[in-house]
Structure 1
Amino acid sequence: MKLLKWICMVALAFVVVSSNQMVYASTDSNDEESINEKFGLPIVVYGEALSDSQKAEVRDLLEIKDTSKVTEITVTGEDLVYYIDGDKNSNMYSSAKITRKDKGEGLVINQVTPENITEVTSEMYANALLTAGIEDAIVDVASPVKVSGHSALVGIYKAYDEGKGTELNQERTEVANEELTLATDLAKKEGLDEDKVSELLTEIKKEIAEQKPATKEELEQLIDEKLQTLNVQLTAEDRQLLIDLFEKMRNLNINFDNVQSQLEDLSKDIQNRIENAISENKGFLDTIANFFKSFIDSLKSLFS
């Protein structure tokens, strides 16, 4: 019994140590750089519920060394109502730093605290922001406490409205929020995960840019083909939600041609993450199997 207990303890320690090597590490926030006079100062948006100490922590996380070199604003419950028809009593913690870039430079999302953004991935933010009309910017997202991450999107919208001549179309921001909500909801379904959902949304947008469906029927066919190609199984209700979402985008004449190269890059990033996850899981399981094989062979030699 003592020997069996010792074997279990060694195996458990091995699994824990090995699994820690698989933790996803986010990219760091972009380094401080010279001010782009065309766009003005980067804008930092703080969640209203942050305490003074938490706000100071967010400044450190976003590498804000000199507050005179950024514009600081606060996102409130009223903003949540205005931009996404949310609950004004919601606690807003997730914060963001937005640095606008020249046209064609693309959209970069840095999750500075991925361990505290529990539902929204970088790819989900990117997809929603492209839908909202934000195409060229570096966006750093951080929270000192665990949150879903939805309120950061509202803060980013508000930051754009604070800039000169950069106001966003409210109908597009509402659709973008619907997209983010649907994405996080689908990612909780059995058989799906964040990467698979992001891949689905990105691939549908790419197909819309290429095929330009003129009717709802054509759009439905496009979506069904993509569901089949990606081997994604949805309930009839979730399929209809997906169709309704993209029909709203079609009626708003959202032109994904303008961001097709970004969608391609996003699709490649998602594919790489999926492939890496599969490879890491296989390698991890092979390592465990080899460990136990060697361990059992050693035990056999002890008693032979």
Structure 2
Amino acid sequence: MKKIIPVLSSILALSLMLPSISSANVGINEKFGLPIVVYGGNLSEAEKESVAKSLDVAGEADVEEIEVTGQDLITYIKDGDSRANMYSSAKITRKDAGEGLVIQIVTPDNITQVTTEMYANAMLTAGIEDASVEVAAPKAVTGHSALVGIYKAYEVNGEELDPERTDVANDELTVATELADSGVEDAKVSELLTEIKKQIAEQNPATREEVEKIVEDQLTKLQIELSPEDRKLLTDLMDRIRKLDIDFSKWSTQLEDLSKTIEDKIGTIVNDEGFWQSVKSFFQKLADSVRGWFN
């Protein structure tokens, strides 16, 4: 027993040393209300349970659970198909102004097309600026329906979204995945969309021709080749974004923050060689102690 005590002490010391990757559970946020979990309307009961586990619903102090169906597509997307299948799901927690967007796909093998950056870009276009979002699916799906679920969850949480912006945001997600399917790397697609939007925010173009020049300039800068059809698709999207009722004076800063948020949160730990060395040393000592029990 005496030999076990030092090991337990070491484990306690490690728990104090490890940085907290996720925020401690401090109970219900009375300012913004409960986290909202929105399930795809076509999930079976077993699939819903799988998603709830992936989104750690049981780990919340309290949570509101809702469902998104094809009918919701009509609310947020002009040409939405009410018969659409909805499987991808999400948990959204509103944050204070200035905290930005933090997106995590907790079942990366099952969200096959949409990346965290694509979600974040589309959410910003839709008018969602400060939130933590986790996306999950119980089987391989593209991930598009999660965005509609995020819209619904956000409005259940007390906000109102402009349907024109949510419709454009859906177009943006569609364009992003189509460009990726055409052979452009996912990261390059997100970089392209972000850079074009930043230039729209900074230059405030007044005509489609000016938008087209911004698109062409960024394609050249990032050395991305697109077919004439995809160039038109991209220009049409960005011209719609230009016409939105957006405060472009602060949009540029939000887009800058968008590209850094995930890197900053992960890089702090991943790049800390001293931290990982201390973890390695701890487990070496733990192994030595365990071996000592049997000697």
TM-score, normalised relative to structure 1: 0.75
Q: Deviations over 1:232-256 (max 9, x none)?
A: 1111121111111111111123234
Do the aligned partners of 1:110 and 1:122 also contact (CA within 8 Å) in 2? yes
2:209 is equivalent to residue 217 of structure 1? yes
Aligned to 1:97, the other structure's residue is in SS state strand
Shift of 1:212: 1.5
Structure 1 segments (4+ residues) deviating >3 Å: 28-33, 265-272
| 8 Å CA contact retained: 1:132, 1:168 | yes
Cα distance, 1:152 vs structure 2: 0.2
Percent sequence identity over matched residues? 60
Q: Which residue in 1 is equivalent to 2:65?
A: 72
Matches within 5 A, 1:101-140: 101-140=95-134
The residue aligned with 2:83 is: 89
Alignment check: 8 A CA contact 2:41 2:67 kept: yes
Go from structure 1 to structure 2 and tell me whether the alpha carbon gap of 1:271 and 1:232 turns closer, same or farther (over 3 Å shift): farther
- Match of 1:44, SS? strand
1:148 corresponds to which letter in structure 2? T
Q: CA distance change for structure 1 residues 148 and 30 in 2, over 3 Å: closer, same or farther?
A: farther
- The 3-state SS of whatever aligns with 2:52 is helix
Matched, 1:261 2:257: no
Q: Distance in 2 between matches of 1:55 and 1:270?
A: 27
Q: Counterpart in 1 of 2:279?
A: none
- Which residue identity is paired with 2:205? P
- Indicate how the Cα distance of structure 1 residues 268 and 106 shifts in structure 2: closer, same or farther if over 3 A, else same: closer
In the alignment, structure 1 segments of 5+ residues that lack a partner are 1-27, 273-304
| Aligned equivalent of 1:186 | 179
Determine the C-alpha separation between the residues in 2 that align with 1:57 and 1:195.
Answer: 29
**Paired position in structure 1 for 2:14:** none
Bigger mean CA deviation after superposition, 259-268 or 116-125 = 259-268
The question of whether the paired residues in 2 share the 8 Å contact of 1:32 and 1:63 is answered with no
Letter in 2 for 1:154: V
Deviation track 1:9-33 (CA, whole Å, cap 9, x = no partner) reads: xxxxxxxxxxxxxxxxxxx876644
Please say if residues 49 and 91 of structure 1, whose CA atoms lie closer than 8 Å, have aligned partners that are also in contact: yes
Q: Could you state the TM-score of these two structures normalised by the residue count of structure 2?
A: 0.77
CA deviation map 1:63-105 (0-9, x unaligned):
1116771111000111123222332222211110000001001
Return 5+ residue gaps in structure 2 as ranges. 1-20, 265-295
The AA in structure 2 aligned to 1:232 is I
Query: Residues 203 and 267 of structure 1 are in contact (CA less than 8 Å); yes or no, is this contact kept in structure 2?
Result: no
Per the TM alignment, residue 40 of structure 1 is displaced from its structure 2 partner at its CA by 0.7
Q: 1:123-202 alignment to 2 at 5 Å?
A: 123-164=117-158, 166-190=159-183, 192-202=184-194
Deviation of 1:260 (Å): 2.5
Counterpart amino acid of 1:203?
A: E
Deviation readout 1:203-237 (Å, 9 max, x if unpaired): 01111122121222221111111111111111112
Shift of the 173–203 alpha-carbon distance from structure 1 to 2, 3 Å rule, reads: same
Q: Which moved more, 1:74-83 or 1:39-48?
A: 74-83
In the alignment, the residues of structure 2 paired with residue 268 and residue 83 of structure 1 have an alpha-carbon distance, to the nearest angstrom, of 28
* CA distance in 2 between partners of 1:137 and 1:109 (Å): 8
- Alpha-carbon distance in 2 for matches of 1:30, 1:271: 17
8 Å Cα contact 1:48/1:75 also seen in 2:
yes
**Offset of 1:267 from its aligned partner?**
3.5
Aligned ranges 1:250-289 → 2 under 5 Å: 250-268=242-260
Kept after mapping to 2: 8 A contact 1:124/1:183: yes
Q: 1:167 to 1:250 in 2, by over 3 A?
A: same
Once residues 186 and 29 of structure 1 are traced to their aligned partners in structure 2, the CA distance between those partners, rounded to angstroms, is: 33
Match for 1:244 among 236, 239, 254?
236
SS of match in other structure, 1:138: strand
Q: How far apart are the structure 2 equivalents of 1:29 and 1:90? A: 34
Distance verdict in 2 for CA 1:36–1:269, change over 3 Å: closer
Partner letter of residue 245 of structure 1?
Answer: L
